[in-house]
Amino acid sequence: MAYTAIEDMRRKNEVRFGSDVGPKQPPLYINRRKRNDLKSAALRFLHSRCEKLRFDENREAEEKKKGVLLGTSLRPGQIPYNMQMDLDRLCLEKSLEVFIDSGIAEDAYSVYYCFLVLFFGQYRKSKKMVELLSEYEANGSSLLMKHRDHYSHSVYVFALGLAIYETSDAYRSSFKSFYHLEGKSENEAANLYLEYWGLASLFHDIGYPFELPFEQVLSYFEVNDQERGKDSLFLAYRCVEALTGLDQAAGDRLEELYGRRFATTSELLAFDITKKLGADYGFSEEYMLDVLDRKPTNPDDFGYFMDHAFFSAARLCQELLKILKPEKLTEMHVDALSAIMLHNSLYKFAIAFYKDKKPEKRKSPLRMDLHPLAWMLMLCDELQCWDRTAYGRNSRKELHPVSAVFDFSGQAINAVYSYDLAEQDKIKTYEKQRAEYEADPAKKKPRLKAYSDMAGDKPDFTADIERIVDTTAFPLKVRAELHKVNRENKRTYLSGSNFLHFFDFAVALHARNMPGKPSQEEMEEKFNSCSLEYRLSTLGRTRHFAAYLNAIGCFYTDKPVDFETVTRFGAKDAAIFAPMEHERWVREHQMMGWRYGKDYETLPVKVSGEDEDEARAALREQLRCHKLCMNGNPTHDEIRAHYQRLPRRYQDKDWKPFNRLLVLLKDMEGSRIYRL
């Protein structure tokens, strides 16, 4: 019964009104041909395994005792509190579904936003942490020799981890045993995993803005194929304690958890990593602390590479202490941090030495029972190499998979990575060079990353993963194929600027009818008074703005260009993109389980006057039916015809707010709208 509070509301309404008036259980995505593909397994985890996520029995008891509702929908007090929690989880499920279909950064943003609201309680304080990585990659990564997207990548990693937990008996058993959850219900264990796996996966690369400047300097010399080494000019960080330092309150909480004090995150994570892996891999806490202390200050000790994982873990630790407060920090939070610290190069080159030329120095791959979160992060981080935007100059020349199909059936991973058929000339050249190499091993071994790592009967890609993590209980099989690429789902348009701050635009757009000139805090307070579902809807409106502009032959940019400037949208423009906005609204509501209906206007309520209007508005949220919704699976033309039949006041809602967004772009980012 996936969404139990929604079902409880349905039963209460049936008793109250004498018939089944809703709300209906939201649908689960089902792949009819393959039950255990990535999308099916990840969404099934959220839909079915995470029942009662963030439920509060005390608030439920208070609602029964006082006869009030404590949950928020369009406005506070309209639905039961636990029903709001169910709808919040549904938002995450559906946002992840949309992202898996598209893979684009705008849809990845929605997943981040949902997760932060669910587990941090708010978005504003972590806004920069989420947006900084995307900005750096979009604007600075083209200066690098090798770099690919890590923003959408992290959400794919998140989805992979959910799918593996859902389908692997061995991993679920290992996770429960490690955290002593054997006596807990299945949904309690899954809910814990969702929270802490989400922290580890979604934020494991937020330290890249510290690594990118380092790589940019080295790229200046590598343009001429000069290999990095002792003659390289490189950056190193000083005053690292500004990022890693732990204050008195944090020290007190950690002493409460571990029985000793820590002055920095390096000390904390050296302790935690040694506690988990030291005995099996033969290293001491002193050794680990020395390695971590040198990571940011002496990159020349590590092959002239800067480890973004160090900065990711330290940055996330500070965010947790700032937002959750030290008293809420748990050992599982620390485990998520140490998983992040391990995932890039620390485990591979300072613990397992998995590629050392001396076989006796190489250590065994990481077992899932030693550190379940780190095992999962390292596995999924390696698996997620498809559909990643190439920013670096050399990266754009390489051949990477554009898509991947996973089958997690039979307690195993079967992955097929697809490469663009249009790139087959590169592959033919590589295969010719490989044949020449096999005939004469004295020649230089050819490589076409990542295709060459996956091609053949014994791909290096699989072998490398098996040297990093122990896949005995969940074996991996990989193959590469060529396919024609369909990029329609990427929704690429001419519009481009720093228009990444969807939150700020959504907040301002939502506040368009507030009197006077409200402050940012006042606008955010109004925005946050709505539920996550309604906030996501406003974010969706701003995210689709580029598509609407494209439809009317316009685009936005922060660069001065020689095209006609648009200062206001009129009826002619509205006739084109207003039906598109209506279609977005209809499909969004269908996805969230809404249906067509007017019962909230006719069913009996016990109040009158203005109170009756409020009661009927609340009833609409409790029934989750709306007179502007559509049932079934309407076509594009059917939705357009539905829009044309709407009264003018409803049609205006689908386009007039965009005049406000036009002004916001100019004021907040210096962008202008131009007509082709």
In a domain, 470, yes or no: yes
- Using CA atoms, how far apart are residues 9 and 240, in angstroms rounded to an integer? 52
With respect to residue 17, please indicate whether it lies within any of the assigned structural domains: no
Q: Give the three-class secondary structure for 234.
A: coil
Mean pLDDT, residues 604-628 taken together: 92
Q: For the segment 57-67, what is each residue's pLDDT rounded down to a tens digit?
A: 999 999 999 99
46 contacts: CB under 8 Å, gap ≥ 6: 89, 92, 93, 96, 162, 194
Whether a cis peptide bond, with omega within 30° of 0, leads into 23 is: yes
The answer to whether 342 touches 378, Cβ cutoff 8 Å, is: yes
pLDDT band for position 395 (cuts 50, 70, 90): very low
- d(CA 362, CA 368) in angstroms, rounded, equals 18
Mean pLDDT of 634-655: 95
Q: Are residues 348 and 245 in the same domain?
A: yes
Confidence grade of residue 186 (pLDDT, cut at 50, 70, 90):
very high
Taking 50 as the threshold, does the pLDDT of residue 452 lie above it? yes
Alpha-carbon distances, residue 95 vs 90, 102, 507 (angstroms): 8, 11, 19
pLDDT in tens, 222-246: 655 677 888 888 899 999 999 999 9
Backbone angles phi, psi at 540, to 5 degrees: -65, -35
Is there a single domain that holds both residue 379 and residue 525? no
Give the pLDDT confidence score for residue 334 in this predicted structure: 98
The pLDDT of residue 606: 84
DSSP 3-state assignment of 229?
coil
Helix (H) or strand (E) holding 1: none
Inside any domain, residue 409: yes
Q: Are 146 and 127 in contact (CB under 8 A)?
A: no
Q: Where are the alpha helices (DSSP H) in 570-609?
A: 571-591, 599-602
Least confident of 280-294, 453-467, 487-501, 630-644: 487-501
Query: Same domain for 296 and 186?
Result: yes
Half-sphere exposure of 360 (CA within 13 A, CB side): 0
Q: Which residues pair with 403 in a beta bridge?
A: 418
Residue ending a domain, choose from 428, 453, 486 = 486
Q: Are residues 379 and 412 in the same domain?
A: no
454-489: per-residue pLDDT in tens? 887 778 899 999 999 999 999 999 999 998 887 666
In this structure, the answer to whether residues 372 and 271 fall within a common structural domain is: yes
Per-position DSSP letters for 58-119, written without gaps between them: HHHHHHHHHT---EESSSEEEE-HHHHHHHHHHHHHHHHHHHHHH--HHHHHHHHHHHHHHH
Both 478 and 500 in a single domain? no
Distance CA 366, CA 62 (A): 47
Report residue 501's pLDDT band, with 50, 70 and 90 as the boundaries. Answer: low
* pLDDT one-digit tens code per residue, 113-158: 999 999 998 777 777 777 766 666 655 555 544 545 778 899 999 9
**Long-range contacts formed by 114-119: CB under 8 A, 24+ apart:** 114/88, 114/532, 114/536, 115/198, 115/202, 117/88, 117/532, 117/535, 118/53, 118/54, 118/88, 118/89, 118/92, 118/532, 119/195, 119/198, 119/199
Confidence of residue 400 (pLDDT cuts 50, 70, 90): confident
Q: Is the pLDDT of residue 491 over 80?
A: no
Query: Range of 562's domain?
Result: 493-594+629-676
Q: What percent of the chain has pLDDT above 70? A: 93
Read off the tokens for 20: 């089944």
| pLDDT, averaged across the chain | 90
Q: Which of 319, 299, 315 is nearest to 307 (CA)?
A: 299
R_g over Cα of the chain: 27
Q: Are residues 324 and 429 in the same domain?
A: no
Query: How many structural domains is the chain composed of?
Result: 3
State the Cα–Cα distance between residues 416 and 2, nearest whole angstrom: 31
- Are 286 and 425 part of one and the same domain? no
> How many whole angstroms separate alpha carbon 200 and alpha carbon 551?
39
93 burial level (CB within 10 Å; 0-12, 13-18, 19+): buried
Give the up-direction half-sphere exposure of residue 156: CA atoms within 13 A in the CB hemisphere: 24
For the chain, the first-to-last Cα distance in angstroms comes to 52
Where does the pLDDT of residue 604 fall: very low under 50, low under 70, confident under 90, or very high at 90 and above? very high
pLDDT at residue 262 greater than cutoff 90? yes
Q: What is the pLDDT of residue 392?
A: 44
Pick the last residue of a domain from 397, 428, 449: 397
In a domain, 13, yes or no: no
Tell me, what amino acid is at 82? Answer: N
List beta partners, residue 469: 366
**Same domain? 123 vs 156:** yes
- Non-local CB neighbours of 12 within 8 Å, separated by 6+ positions: none
Measured in residues, the chain has a length of: 676
Q: Is residue 4 part of a domain?
A: no
- The domain boundary, picked from 332, 365, 397, lies at 397
Q: Check residue 94 and give its pLDDT.
A: 97
- In this structure, is residue 600 part of a structural domain? no
Segment 65-78 shows an average pLDDT of 96
Query: Both 548 and 638 in a single domain?
Result: yes
Give domain status of residue 306, yes or no. Answer: yes
Does residue 617 have a cis peptide bond before it, meaning omega lies within 30 degrees of 0? no
Whole-number Cα distances in Å, 597 to 27, 293, 390, 534, 645: 18, 62, 47, 19, 16
Q: How far is CA 264 from CA 109, 179, 196, 271, 479, in A?
A: 31, 25, 21, 11, 44
Q: How many CB atoms lie within 10 A of CB 433?
A: 17
> Is 338 in the same domain as 478?
no
Q: Name beta bridge partners: 366.
A: 469
- What pLDDT, on a 0 to 100 scale, did the predictor assign at position 389? 67
**Would residue 615 count as lying in a domain?**
no
Whether 385 and 524 map to the same domain: the answer is: no
